[in-house]
Structure 1
Amino acid sequence: MKFYRDDRFPFREPLLWIYASGVAEDVGVVVGVRPVAGGGLVYCEALRRRSRFLFPCGDAEAAAERVGRLLRHRMFPATW
C-alpha cells in the first residue's frame, strides 16, 4: 500500500479515502479521526483546512452507514 501526503488535506493523522462509482461521476469522501472535548474521538470528513463531524468512534457500522448516505447523496443529489 502506498502512503503519501496530499496538500489538499493538511492533516497529521492518517486519512481513509472512500470512493463510489455509479451513473454519476466518481465521488468520494476523505475520513479521519479527531479528538473532541471530554476525551472522545469522532470520525470526521476531512475538508480543506477543517473537518466535518460524521459519527462518534466506537460504532463503525453506524459510521459506515452515514458515509454511505453521504456518498449516495453526492452521486444522486436530485433524488434527496
Structure 2
Amino acid sequence: MLRLRTHLGRSTAVRYLDTLSAALKPLGYRAIRLYRPEEFPVPVALPALWEPFLWVYVPGPHSHVGTVVSARAVSGGMWAYHEAQRGRFGYLSPCGDVKAAADQTDKLLKHRMFPGNAW
C-alpha cells in the first residue's frame, strides 16, 4: 500500500524534495532534480514505476561526494525522506521537518567526506 501511495503521490514527493533542495543550498550542497525517468543519466528499466529523486552532492577537486534522496509515503498518512540507495532502511527524517532532514543529510555527507570524524 505504501508503494502505491508513493507512486500516486509524485507531486507530493516533488514538493518535499524541492523544499529539501532549498534547505541544503545554504549549507553549501548542490542538488540535481531527477523527477522524470528521461532525466536520469542511465536508461530506466520500468519508467512507469519511477519515483522522483534528488541527487545531493558537494563537488570536490577530483570527484563528487553525494547521495540520492527520495520522499516516500510512510504509515500514518505521512511522508519521510530516505536515502534512496537503502530504500526504506535509509530513513532520514519526516518530510514535515525539513531542517532535521537537511541536518541528517549534512551529517551523512560529512561522514563520507571525512570518515572517522564525529559529526
The verdict on a shared fold, with TM-score over 0.5 as the criterion, is: yes
Which TM-score applies when normalising by structure 2?
0.54
Q: Extract structure 1 runs of 4+ deviating beyond 2 A.
A: 4-8, 21-26
Aligned with 1:13 (options 18, 43, 51) = 51
Which runs of no fewer than 5 residues in structure 2 stay unpaired? 1-32
Aligned pair 1:54/2:92, yes or no? yes
CA pair 21-29 structure 1, distance change in 2 beyond 3 A: same
CA pair 31-67 structure 1, distance change in 2 beyond 3 A: same
Identical aligned residues as a percent: 42
Deviations 1:33-64 (A, max 9, x none): 1111111100000016x341000011112211
Deviations 1:4-32 (A, max 9, x none): 26469x76211000011347852101001
Contact 1:33 1:44 in 2 (8 A): yes
Higher percent of residues as strand: 1
Which runs of no fewer than 5 residues in structure 1 stay unpaired? none
Higher percent of residues as helix: 2
Counterpart of 1:79 in structure 2: which amino acid? Answer: N
SS at match of 1:78: coil
Which TM-score applies when normalising by structure 1?
0.77
How many pairs does the alignment contain? 78
CA pair 39-54 structure 1, distance change in 2 beyond 3 A: same
CA pair 5-60 structure 1, distance change in 2 beyond 3 A: same
